[in-house]
Amino acid sequence: MRKWFLLLMALLIVGIAPVFAQTSEPNESPLLTLLAHIPDNASAREYLSYIDYRALFAARPGAPQITSWTQFNTLLTANSKESAAVKAALYGVQSGPQFFATSLMQAGDMPSVAGFDVFAIERAVEFGNPPNKGDLLEGDFDAQAVINAHEKRGYTSSAQNGLTLLCPAAGCDSGTQLDMSNINNANPFGGNLGRSQPVLVGDRLVASSPSLDVVNAIADTAAGKSASLADQPDYRAAAEAISAGGTLIQTYFVQPTDIGAASSVLMNSRLSAAQIKALTAQLQANFVPLPAYNLIALADTATATEQQALVALVYTTQANAEAAAALFPKRLQDYTSLVAQKSMSDLLAERGVTSMEASVYAASTDRYVVIVTLHAPLPSNTIPADGTTLQASSLVYSLLVRAYQSRDLGWLATQF
């Protein structure tokens, strides 16, 4: 079983009112509910990744809903069809907190260290870049158990905007300090670096960051003292659009500046000077500008009959959105991945994509969202003839995320 854990870790890593609300507001998606707790500032917008673990398991045929480490551990040792489906679902995790992968090895100890079970987390968001990274978790938590577990580790508790703020013995401003003698992967909040971070506890939600400023910003947003990303027109529009069809499993929000020019990927490739020159001329001759957009969301969704990967582009005007939509799916199909050295049509076909189309979604925030939908069958629970394991979940979404991480999204470039 340890061998499987190590493989999973590698795959995953190479990926308010005064109290937190218990449930979504009417007509609010779970994603928007969590965005309502995240401060609308430049740091949070630098990076934002969301996952719904309950939806992840529900979308995998044959996988039971996992709600505790004990259930998970028992299932793995049984080596059954159900355990194979659960592992295949977890291989599809490409979003959410990074600690999820590193904590699985010691997740049995997490209740005593952090006060909650890793599989009690229903949904989660990770946002910002170190040291201003924050984790916001929603789930079946016992707030008092979280408080008790941290106090046993020397934390002190105090009230802040109706929430409970937990501070380590060295103070709430010591969360960025590293202590290699204190490494504990059962501590999801910086434990892999030996950190003792400040923690906020509310009803069904727990939040933490190495930065006290980020923790305070979350508390201020919870108290309505500052605007949230759910109030920001572009984020709200994207969240509405990717939640409007199937069940949202996971998503990345991407800033347009992260895409760069179409030619920038060539400069960063390992091609020879002659190959770069030839490809540059070819790409420039075929390049059609994409109208500039405000925000991108890459999303993984599922319906009762298929899995879907979405690319959402947020526009201020309907005219620009319709002009962009008219370029798809041809713009995507014609692109050649400079990392895989294959056309996107071939890469998508290998992952089971059967069709794709573009549409325009009119959001409630005077924004228009181009939704490029990639359709594929639900993953099979039959082991391929040339394989030894089940097909991983979310293969199409994983392709998009890895393309983003390797800056291989030239088909989203707005300039050459």
Predicted pLDDT of residue 285: 60
Q: Are residues 205 and 292 in the same domain?
A: no
Q: Are residues 163 and 53 in the same domain?
A: yes
Q: Percent of the chain scored above 70 by pLDDT?
A: 86
What's the whole-number mean pLDDT along residues 140-144? Answer: 96
Predicted pLDDT of residue 284: 60
Q: Are residues 246 and 210 in the same domain?
A: no
Global pTM value = 0.89
Give 275-330 pLDDT, tens digit per residue: 666 666 666 666 678 999 999 999 999 999 999 999 999 999 999 999 999 999 99
Predicted pLDDT of residue 386: 66
Confidence of residue 150 (pLDDT cuts 50, 70, 90): very high
Predicted pLDDT of residue 367: 98
Rg (the chain; Cα; Å): 22
Host domain of residue 71: 2-15+17-231
Q: For residue 152, which of 117, 199, 118, 112 has the smallest C-alpha distance?
A: 112
Q: Among all chains, which residue has been given the structure tokens 């770069």? A: 276
Are 258 and 297 spatial neighbours (Cβ–Cβ below 8 Å)? no
Give the count of domains, the chain. 2
Give 15-31 pLDDT, tens digit per residue: 422 233 333 344 589 99
Give the type of residue at 9.
Answer: M
Give the type of residue at 335.
Answer: Y
**92: pLDDT strictly greater than 90:** yes
Q: Are residues 214 and 245 in the same domain?
A: no
Packing angle of the helix pair 81-90, 2-13 (nearest 10 deg): 30
Confidence of residue 381 (pLDDT cuts 50, 70, 90): confident
Give the type of residue at 396.
Answer: V
> What is the CB neighbour count within 10 angstroms for residue 227?
13
Q: Are residues 190 and 252 in the same domain?
A: no
Are 32 and 41 spatial neighbours (Cβ–Cβ below 8 Å)? no
Give 159-212 pLDDT, tens digit per residue: 999 899 999 999 999 999 999 989 999 999 999 999 999 999 998 999 999 999
List all residues 6 or more positions away from 51 whose beta carbon is below 8 Å from its beta carbon.
Answer: 93, 95, 96, 97, 123, 124, 249, 250
Are 339 and 288 spatial neighbours (Cβ–Cβ below 8 Å)? no
Predicted pLDDT of residue 22: 31
Predicted pLDDT of residue 203: 87
Q: Are residues 246 and 384 in the same domain?
A: yes
CB neighbour class for 284 (10 Å; exposed up to 12, middle 13-18, buried from 19)? exposed
Q: Are residues 243 and 212 in the same domain?
A: no
What's the whole-number mean pLDDT along residues 37-65? Answer: 96
Angle CA 114–117–122, to nearest 5 = 115
Q: Are residues 245 and 207 in the same domain?
A: no
CA–CA distance from 235 to each of 230, 309, 345, 380 (Å)? 6, 18, 29, 33
Q: Average pLDDT, whole number, for the chain?
A: 89
Give 233-249 pLDDT, tens digit per residue: 999 999 999 999 899 99
Predicted pLDDT of residue 340: 86
What's the whole-number mean pLDDT along residues 126-155? Answer: 96
Give the type of residue at 407.
Answer: R
Please write down the HEC assignment for all residues of the chain. CHHHHHHHHHHHHCCCCCCCCCCCCCCCCHHHHHHCCCECCHHHHHCEEEEEHHHHHHCCCCCCCCCCHHHHHHHHHHCCHHHHHHHHHHCCCCCCCCHHHHHHHHHHHHHHHHCCCHHHEEEEEEECCCCCCEEEEEECCCHHHHHHHHHHCCCEEEEECCEEEEECCCCHHHCCCCCHHHCCCCCCCCHHHCCCCCEEECCCEEEECCCHHHHHHHHHHHCCCCCECCCCHHHHHHHHHHHCCCEEEEEEEECHHHCCCCCHHHHCCCCCHHHHHHHHHHHHHHCCCCCCCCEEEEEEEECCCEEEEEEEEEECCHHHHHHHHCCCCHHHHCCEECCCCEEHHHHHHHCCCCEEEEEEEECCCCCEEEEEEEEEECCCCCCCCCCCCCCCCCHHHHHHHHHHHCCCCHHHCCCC
Predicted pLDDT of residue 136: 98
Q: Percent of the chain scored above 90 by pLDDT?
A: 73
Confidence of residue 385 (pLDDT cuts 50, 70, 90): low
Q: Are residues 78 and 97 in the same domain?
A: yes
Domain boundary among 201, 216, 231: 231
Q: Are residues 175 and 266 in the same domain?
A: no
Are 150 and 199 spatial neighbours (Cβ–Cβ below 8 Å)? yes
Domain boundary among 200, 231, 262: 231
**390: pLDDT strictly greater than 80:** yes
Domain boundary among 169, 199, 231: 231
Sign of CA dihedral 102, 105, 111, 116: positive
Q: Are residues 76 and 115 in the same domain?
A: yes
Q: Are residues 272 and 219 in the same domain?
A: no
Angle CA 242–217–204, to nearest 5 = 60
